[in-house]
Amino acid sequence: MKTIAFDGKRAVQNYTGIGNYSRLALESLLPLMPDARFDLYVPKIKPNPRLKNLLANPRVSLRTPDTLSGRILPHLWRSKGLTDQLHRDRPALYHGLSNELPIGIERSGVPSVVTIHDLIFERHPEFYHAPDVAICRRKFRHAAAVADRVIAISERTASDLRELYGVPDEKIRVVYQGCSPLFFKTPASESIADNRGRFGRYIIGVGTIEARKNQMLTLRALPLLPPDVNLVLVGRQTAYARRILAEARKLGVENRLTMLSGVAMTSIPALYAAAEVAAYPSFYEGFGIPMLEALAAGVPLVAATGSCLEEAGGPGALYVNPTNVEAFAAAANRLLASPRLRDEMVDRGRQYIARFAPANFGRGLVNVYNELL
């Protein structure tokens, strides 16, 4: 039985974003590779309930540093010592799930794949701290240079890799990720009714509340929407959330705004399902999983042009310039005024996002692996 090795840090430590990507990749691969073991290399073990089902499978294991120095200096182990451990363990392949590969892996004798999720920090460095941009640039460039294959999660990311890092076409494979099957299940009617009772008629925005996600655009459109329409933002709050709240007070719509953080993933499908419209006006994304989640849950979107969101949502959304408040309001008003239009867009959007089903995600990864195995 061959062993596929993975960078498991995000799967163990993160609850959103790349953590979700990592866990969904493993869940999608397991039924498609019945003759393989999956070893997740992690600096340290941390309990994560979202990993419970995966670790219940006897073919999935966590592997920690096998040297004293690696256990004492886990960050150094992950960037360099992991290469020596992979050389000793000799897996059939190593997949860096989170934009990076350990130094020297090209000399380890183990073929490598890396997933590059986005190069947002290159396109919009203003949303990041300068030291973080420098660190990401070094790590991402290194991984793209030494990997045997580079998986881009969208055509937008593939284009950025070619343009900004000079990665050759023959090395890049676009493999779209899916969203959790949770969003394709109809939530309990009681949960939907409860959310409508709490928030009334509302637009929902899901994602970290930060400047790049541009929730301010939706908020500023609120006074141009019917007065019974509220805004519910769901996600981890950064300092930007304070700016959102201050602007809501300035516009006189504070009583129409709710920000929720720490919401369990199992509760989010019902929040989507109770909404009339979803908003995703981000300035730049590598893909845009909330687009898939909203459409799977039966909600059309207003989203931004300029990155990959048209690629993610297809005909399930209306697209506007991320700086144009009036255009956003006009699009949202069209959807709010017409249940028929909302239903038509969701139907077309759901047909479109079928290509992003978890099984297709898994098959795409297997195809890349088979090129190297």
* Domain definitions of the chain by residue range: 2-178+357-372, 181-355
Q: Which stretch of DSSP H or E encloses residue 68?
A: helix 68-72
Q: Given its phi and psi angles, is residue 318 left (phi above 0), alpha (psi -120 to 50 degrees) or beta?
A: beta
The C-alpha atoms of residue 121 and residue 133 are separated, in whole angstroms, by 6
Q: Buried b / exposed e across 189-228, counting CB within 10 Å, b at 16+?
A: eebbeebbeebeebbbbbbbbbbbbbbbbbbbbbeebeee
Which residue, among 315, 276, 326, 270, has the nearest Cα to 297 in the 3D structure?
270
Query: C-alpha dihedral over 200, 203, 204, 209, to 10 degrees?
Result: -110
What is the pLDDT at residue 330? 98
**Strand 60-63, strand 36-41: pairing:** parallel
Label residues 326-362 b or e (16+ Cβ within 10 Å = b): ebbbebbbbbbeeeeebeebbebbbebbeebbbebbb
Residue with tokens 């849950």: 297
> Which homologous superfamily does the CATH classification assign to the domain defined by 181-355?
Glycogen Phosphorylase B; (3.40.50.2000)
For domain 2-178+357-372, give its CATH number from 3.40.50.620, 2.160.10.10, 3.90.1150.150, 3.40.50.2000. Answer: 3.40.50.2000
DSSP per-residue string spanning 277-322? EEEE--S--SS-HHHHHHHHTT--EEEESSSSHHHHHGGGEEEE-T
pLDDT tens-place values along the chain, 373 residues long: 899 999 999 999 888 889 989 999 999 999 999 999 999 999 998 888 888 889 999 999 999 999 999 899 998 999 999 999 999 999 999 999 999 999 999 999 999 999 999 999 999 999 999 999 999 999 999 999 999 999 999 999 999 999 999 999 999 999 998 888 889 999 999 999 999 999 999 999 999 999 999 999 999 999 999 999 999 999 999 999 999 999 999 999 999 999 999 998 899 999 999 999 999 999 999 899 999 999 999 999 999 998 899 999 999 999 999 999 999 999 999 999 999 999 999 999 999 999 888 889 999 999 999 999 9
Examine domains 2-178+357-372 and 181-355 and report if their fold is the same.
yes
Predicted TM-score (pTM) of the model is 0.90
Three-class SS state of 52: helix
